[in-house]
Structure 1
Amino acid sequence: MENPSLISVLFATSKVSEHLIKPLGHHQLLLVLLELSLLLLVARGMGEIMRRINLPPVVGELLAGVVLGPSLFGLLFPNLHDHIFPENQQQSDLLSVISWLGVLCLLIVTGLETDLKLIIRKGKTALLISLGGIIVPFVTGFGLGWFLPETFLADPNKRLVFSLFIATAMSISAVPVIAKVLMDLNLIRRDIGQVTLAAGMTDDTIGWILLSVVSGLASSGKFDFGTVFRSVSAAILFLAIAFTIGRTIVDQILRWVDDKVGGVTASLSVLLVLSFSAAALTQHLGLEAALGAFVVGILAGQSRRFNSEAGHTLEIITAGFLAPIFFASAGLKVNLLSLLVPQTLIFGLIVLTVACVGKFTGAYIGSRVGGLSHWEGIAMGSGMNARGAMEIVVATIGLSLGVLNPQMYSIIVMVAIVTSVMSPPLLRWSLSKVTIGEEEAQRLELEKLASRSFIKQIQRVLIPTRGGANIQLAAQLVGYIAQQNPLDVTLFYAESDKQPPSKARQTATAVKDTATQEAFTAVAEEMQLPDESNLQTKTESGHSKVAAIINEASKGYDLIVLGASEQTRSKDALFNLLVDQVIQEAPCATMVVKSHLTEAQGESCRIPQQPLKNILVPTVGTEYSKNAIEVASVIAAATGASVTIVNVINLPQIEYILYERRSFNPMKDIASDLLEQQAVIGRSLGAEVKTCILKGTSPETEILKFAENEGFDLIILGSNIRMVTGRVFFGHRVDAILNRSHCPVAVITAP
């Protein structure tokens, strides 16, 4: 007799197996890998060809899809084309998912590059351009849809819905294409580039709302005010929350990840998680997923704790893989052969003309009303004219809802491709006529300098402290830097894992807690950080104090600030054993401050605020010297002090008259040029900079004599680390200045 319980279990198992999701088929995986390889090869190849003929690569990437589509590849090798790119919904969906990843990543990168302050400053102009770029093409597109022959309508009884779809398609702009063009042309940081992005995103946001309204209308067959209200409300609410509460949330998440994990991989992962989550939210709200990704990109770019290297990594992945796949797959949908039918060709050209003229005219009028020049208006019209894949999305939705027939679908996709191909050369040509204003030129030059600047890259500062005079003075200097360059500062108290005997452990713990709090309080009060900066404290232990400091420093800090404690100095160390070892093992730049204050003040006594009126920076023209000049200039800009950059011409021990006459003057000219070049760096950071040339047989002696005679309050040295018999060695000159100076000395090193 059969066991009924066994039969029921087997029956249940068979029912479950019927509903198991099958893994991706062997042939499906083979095809998608083949499609990706072919699309990437042709897209990148044609992109490089376009680059060589002075066109943006995005043009070649868009045309790659047309070449691989039914227009060329399908015409020449129909069987092979149908085998690689079959008309199969599941296979098409696999490629679409990767294409959408390209869209989202491209918009994340665009968001990271977006200057929100500049957009806000240009907000009125961007809004006027956007309104002009929507209203005019929407009206002309609606009129076009109303008068097109019925042969282009899927359902002649839905003329109103058809006209609204055409109007929406004419109004949309392709922010991914615009962004890629601006990146390719190196224009994304220009005022015109930022305004174009702002106008494009506003344009698309309104366009997505229009699309959701028209899609709802097509589905229901009647005008639904509820759909309109929900779409508009969702967009406004999302943007309002994102740029208020969302800004803080994103920043805090990035801070937490940076503190707890750190590194490029962690920053990149959290950026993608936040972006895809926001994209899912905007998609759920009936808006487009691209809006959420773009907004998170902006918010992450505004956070000081986002790792810029992570953004650069994502940009490389996007430009080298995801974006070319996206642009090429968009071109796959175009069948130019269907457009060769005389009636379709004629009306296709009419649609293209109306699309270009309407968008260009609207954007130009908006630009002029917004205060832009004639050529800036032409550039704006050229840039906003790119429709790209967003218009293809509109066409695809219209086709799936039964509003568009295959003829009209091909025409709209053709418009998307042609306008995207037209836009880059027109934008390049029109922008060549635009003169850069003085304000914009200064901003771009400052950004260029900032991208290569040592001090501008410093955002996170670690200050190991036990509260001595040297670290208190160092804290004062960090506070001055923070006034010009907002910082995230961590005060760090390092302990060794070695435990005292059990009887003394409780007393030692109480003493340690008191000492820690005193050390933190002393340094925090000396620093006086502005509101824009952030201060936190940490106490950690390791197998040694050095290990604890290095372990914390490896979590993404840009600068370690140390005090050189005279009381604990060893004869085998430049500063002391702990400081020397930290400098040797530091994963980032370091600044060591030696105050030269009297030892009577002790390690726990507060020092008065040290007045700074004159700062001296010796230079030999190296990158290390430039770093020191930048630090000095930022401190000077905050305190009102002046910076003197000095170069010493090292003469031989015996000065011959012949040497003096023939060799000194050329050396003086070289030194003068060097000083002036480095003075420009200091002045660009807001400091009053002077230059001076000294000469002598002992540069360190001349520097010390000059510093004392002229009454300098601080000497800042830039140096590289040299290892000599296990101790830190900056060179005899730096050692001499550190030990014999009458005033405080700070030494800046970079890894």
Structure 2
Amino acid sequence: MREVSRLIKFPQVIGEILGGLLLGPTVLAIFFPEIFENHFMLKANQKPALDVVYNLGLIILMFISGMETKTTYKSKERAIVSYLLAGTLVAFVLGFFAINFYGFQQIIGVKGDLFSLKLVFAIAVSVTSIPVISRIFLDLNLLHTRFSTTVITTATIQDMILWIMLATLTNRLSSLYSNIIQVVIVTPLLLFGILFVLPRLSVLLKNRKTVVNKNLLFLILIQSFYIIGVIVYLFNTNKILSAFLAGVIVNNLFGAKLTTFKKHLKKIALNSFIPLYFGIVGYKLNLIHNFDLYYFLGFLAMSSFIKIFCIYVCSTFLKFNIKTSMNFSIAMNTRGGPGIVLATIAFDAGIINEIFFTTLVITSIITSLISGYWFYFISEKETKNNEVPLQITTK
């Protein structure tokens, strides 16, 4: 299915999910129940092995995401990125309160934690997929453009914040008060460490003026990571943040020296563990019993409107024209892989139930398709008109 997706210009992650969907209770169990029961139905003694593959895929995915994360940015990018992040923040706040009108009784998980559910709902509204939007620009040969760089930079910082917040919510033993404290303290602390402390220490570490300074700074750097690790442990954050931070740290410590390593790791992971992870996500979907069409359509429309509207309004403050503002809005509304990872983590932690899990996964697929075809259409149209595709233009 991944190869089929590639041929019809779908994001490959969608093909991987659809492959799992076809072999799961949604399709195969309905049309060929005997084949499903004999060959594809998950037995109790098989579940631990599948969980190992599932978790390994998630950990490697988050580690690679950390390695691809930029922690230093050019001055020209900062103004645009700041406004786009402001739009994401407004979308997050609106999403947090929108659940009060949208209803939560139908989607709350076994944990019964309303505060965590509200944060997951807000993250689901505001998250952007770096892998999917990057792949779309790569396929269109537009990854080098200022537009794509700005989108990916914004999505990187935004998702970094959201991942840290999500990681603080997945402790099953946390109380409401504990969750609030975790989000308020851990998120800014880790974000400050990643965006400000880590880049500066890494630059100083590469200064080879004296061996003493280098060794001293190396010790400071290691101690900083140790302190971060202790904080993560004390606040019961989980494997997502650990894998992500490990990727960020390794990338900052070794940088260009890891080019070959990253290339081989991505090649192995993208052809084994990560596709299996998304395939298992598709397998877990049960659109027959756990899919509420009206709830899904309502969430898709509401969340897309909030995100697109907020990014569009913030883009107008930068005096971008309508086309550029819409391009930024559609790009930032791409949920893709992070939306799916959010769904699986929140569901496994008992924050959401099967209905919202399915809703989030399908929403991620649909928004990725919309973005893919939107930018394919825009780039084709602008190329035919002898224009430079995806130029950032003002009024």
TM-score in terms of structure 1 length: 0.42
CA distance in 2, matches of 1:438, 1:146: 37
- Change in 2 beyond 3 A, CA 1:429/1:418: same
Letter of the 2:131 counterpart? P
Deviation at 1:137, TM superposition (A): 4.5
Deviation at 1:372, TM superposition (A): 4.2
CA distance in 1, matches of 2:180, 2:31: 50
- Name the counterpart of 1:240: 196
Compare the two structures and name the one with the higher strand fraction.
1
Which string of whole-angstrom CA distances, capped at 9 and with x for unpartnered residues, describes residues 27-75 of structure 1?
Answer: xxxxxxxxxxxxxxxxxxx333233334443443343333333222333
Query: Residue 129 of structure 1 contacts residue 199 of structure 1 at CA under 8 Å; is this kept in 2?
Result: yes
Tell me the SS of whatever aligns to 1:332.
Answer: helix
2:363 matches 1:415: yes
Structure 1: runs of 5+ lacking an equivalent: 1-45, 254-273, 441-751
Aligned residues: 364
Letter of the 1:295 counterpart? V
Query: Residue 63 of structure 2 contacts residue 245 of structure 2 at CA under 8 Å; is this kept in 1?
Result: no
2:146 matches 1:191: yes
Which string of whole-angstrom CA distances, capped at 9 and with x for unpartnered residues, describes residues 634-659 of structure 1?
Answer: xxxxxxxxxxxxxxxxxxxxxxxxxx
Tell me the SS of whatever aligns to 1:244.
Answer: helix
2:15 matches 1:60: yes
Compare the two structures and name the one with the higher helix fraction.
2
CA distance in 2, matches of 1:115, 1:333: 35
- Name the counterpart of 1:334: 285
Deviation at 1:334, TM superposition (A): 2.1
- Change in 2 beyond 3 A, CA 1:315/1:373: farther
- Change in 2 beyond 3 A, CA 1:149/1:229: closer
- Name the counterpart of 1:200: 155
- Change in 2 beyond 3 A, CA 1:53/1:145: same
Higher-RCO chain (CA-CA 8 Å, sequence separation at least 6): 2
Letter of the 1:183 counterpart? L
Which string of whole-angstrom CA distances, capped at 9 and with x for unpartnered residues, describes residues 545-574 of structure 1?
Answer: xxxxxxxxxxxxxxxxxxxxxxxxxxxxxx
CA distance in 1, matches of 2:278, 2:140: 17
- Name the counterpart of 2:388: 436
2:248 matches 1:295: yes
Letter of the 2:369 counterpart? V
Query: Residue 142 of structure 1 contacts residue 166 of structure 1 at CA under 8 Å; is this kept in 2?
Result: no
- Change in 2 beyond 3 A, CA 1:231/1:73: same
- Change in 2 beyond 3 A, CA 1:105/1:430: farther
- Change in 2 beyond 3 A, CA 1:252/1:177: farther
Letter of the 1:332 counterpart? Y
CA distance in 1, matches of 2:177, 2:7: 52
Deviation at 1:232, TM superposition (A): 1.6
CA distance in 2, matches of 1:361, 1:317: 39
- Name the counterpart of 2:305: 357
Larger Rg, first or second structure (1 or 2): 1
Letter of the 2:187 counterpart? S
CA distance in 2, matches of 1:180, 1:345: 29
Deviation at 1:162, TM superposition (A): 3.2
2:56 matches 1:98: yes
Tell me the SS of whatever aligns to 1:150.
Answer: coil
Which string of whole-angstrom CA distances, capped at 9 and with x for unpartnered residues, describes residues 264-309 of structure 1?
Answer: xxxxxxxxxx9xx99x959657472454355357647854xx2655
Tell me the SS of whatever aligns to 1:365.
Answer: helix
Letter of the 2:388 counterpart? I
Deviation at 1:346, TM superposition (A): 0.9
Which of 313, 324, 330 aligns to 1:376? It is 324
Deviation at 1:237, TM superposition (A): 1.8
RMSD of aligned alpha carbons? 4.0
CA distance in 2, matches of 1:307, 1:392: 28
Deviation at 1:132, TM superposition (A): 0.8
CA distance in 1, matches of 2:321, 2:254: 30
- Change in 2 beyond 3 A, CA 1:134/1:125: same
Which string of whole-angstrom CA distances, capped at 9 and with x for unpartnered residues, describes residues 66-104 of structure 1?
Answer: 333322233334454454451654133212233125414
Identical pairs, percent: 20
TM-score in terms of structure 2 length: 0.75
- Change in 2 beyond 3 A, CA 1:128/1:140: same
2:87 matches 1:139: no
Query: Residue 107 of structure 1 contacts residue 293 of structure 1 at CA under 8 Å; is this kept in 2?
Result: no
Letter of the 1:230 counterpart? V
- Name the counterpart of 1:399: 347
Deviation at 1:181, TM superposition (A): 3.3
- Change in 2 beyond 3 A, CA 1:289/1:80: farther
Deviation at 1:411, TM superposition (A): 1.9
Tell me the SS of whatever aligns to 2:284.
Answer: coil
